Amino acid sequence: MNKGKKINPKKFEPGQLKIILILLPLVIFMGMPIIFIINHAFKPMEELFAFPPTFFVKSPVMDNFSKLGDFFDTNGIPLARYIFNSILVTALTVGLSLLLTTMSAFALSKIKFKGRNLLGQINQIAIMFVSTAVLIPRYLVICQLHIIDNILAHILPLVAMPVALFLVKQFVDQVPDSLLEAAYMDGATDLDVYVKVILPMIKPAIATASILVFQQVWTNMETSSYFFNDDSQKTLTFAMNTLVNANNSVAGQGMGAAASLIMFLPNLILFIILQNKVMNTMASSGIK
């Protein structure tokens, strides 16, 4: 083996050129939908219905966003209210979900107690159930708790995410037991080990789980549809979907394009910020 060559060099080397040429068409192809969504939101009416359709915007305007805001103002609930609801619900749900997920993963992976394997198997079974399959039980629980039209109705159904727990647990499994034993010998409690040992070592998995939970909460429309009668308590996703369904006319296409961009951008920004940690998680998840 040639010691002068590195498997994954940090700087550009001529040998990487062939890999770049192979991957570049794939990157362009995968990036085209993102570029189209951004350009489509700024197209004036004549470009939205141009034939043949145009991929890039020629004369960008902000009319679609101003019309979107005016539409919600005329319906009694401003767009800012829906945005505030979504940000609040998403922040609280993601925070509580990550806390529950990381603590549960630590317990299921490193703490021995009766029923640990059974709980892990139940979580794996829960992964198979889509949200529609458990909608009726969720509604009955929300009614029994008397939290209809309460912010908790947004949060509680989405706090537990089996996929995120499974992913984080696989990462916690890779933390050496000897490291935890050394911490316990120094007098650390379970909480100390969780905060000072486990959390710093599973940051990539936490970043990946945060993206999964964020996408689930940010795009969720079921809680607003089934657990809320007060429109002012509903989220941005519900408002945007209602807008698209109610405005299939020519005039509504521009607002729909702007709404799609508003809903898409937070997901894109979050992934760009956390992409390195996500890649580390995917690379390490199968290593034992």
pLDDT tens digits for range 143-173: 999 999 899 999 998 898 898 999 899 888 8
Single out the residue of 28, 58, 22, 53 nearest to residue 43, CA to CA: 58
Task: DSSP for 113-174, please give it.
Answer: -TTHHHHHHHHHHHTT--GGGGHHHHHHHHHHTT-TTSTHHHHHHHH--HHHHHHHHHHHTT
Judge whether residue 192 has pLDDT over 70: yes
Single out the residue of 85, 108, 107, 227 nearest to residue 156, CA to CA: 227
pLDDT of residue 288: 44
Sorting pLDDT into bands at 50, 70 and 90, what band is 66? confident
The residue type found at 112 is: K
Single out the residue of 152, 170, 68 nearest to residue 110, CA to CA: 170
- CA 44-49-50 angle, 5° bins: 95
Measured in degrees and rounded to the nearest 5, phi and psi for residue 209 equal -65, -35
The region, left, alpha or beta by phi > 0 then psi within -120 to 50, assigned to residue 51 is beta
Q: Which two tokens stand for residue 25?
A: 């068409």
pLDDT of residue 144: 92
pLDDT of residue 87: 92
pLDDT tens digits for range 211-243: 889 988 998 888 888 898 888 889 988 888 877
pLDDT of residue 102: 94
pLDDT of residue 1: 45
Please say whether the beta carbons of 148 and 106 come within 8 A. no
pLDDT of residue 92: 95
pLDDT tens digits for range 6-37: 555 666 667 677 777 888 888 888 888 888 88
Judge whether residue 78 has pLDDT over 70: yes
- Residue 127: CB partners within 8 Å, gap ≥ 6? 162, 163, 166
Domains delineated in the chain = 63-284 (1.10.3720.10)
Q: Which two tokens stand for residue 101?
A: 């997920």
Which residue's structure tokens are 């549960």? 104
Sorting pLDDT into bands at 50, 70 and 90, what band is 128? confident
Sorting pLDDT into bands at 50, 70 and 90, what band is 287? very low
Sorting pLDDT into bands at 50, 70 and 90, what band is 248? low
Reported pTM: 0.80
Percent share of the chain, pLDDT over 90: 15
Q: Measured in Å, how far apart are the chain's first and last C-alpha atoms? A: 26
Sorting pLDDT into bands at 50, 70 and 90, what band is 98? very high
Mean pLDDT of the region 72-94 = 88
Q: Which two tokens stand for residue 117?
A: 């394997």
pLDDT tens digits for range 250-280: 667 778 888 888 888 888 888 888 777 665 5
Please say whether the beta carbons of 252 and 63 come within 8 A. no
pLDDT tens digits for range 29-62: 888 888 888 888 888 888 877 778 788 888 888 8
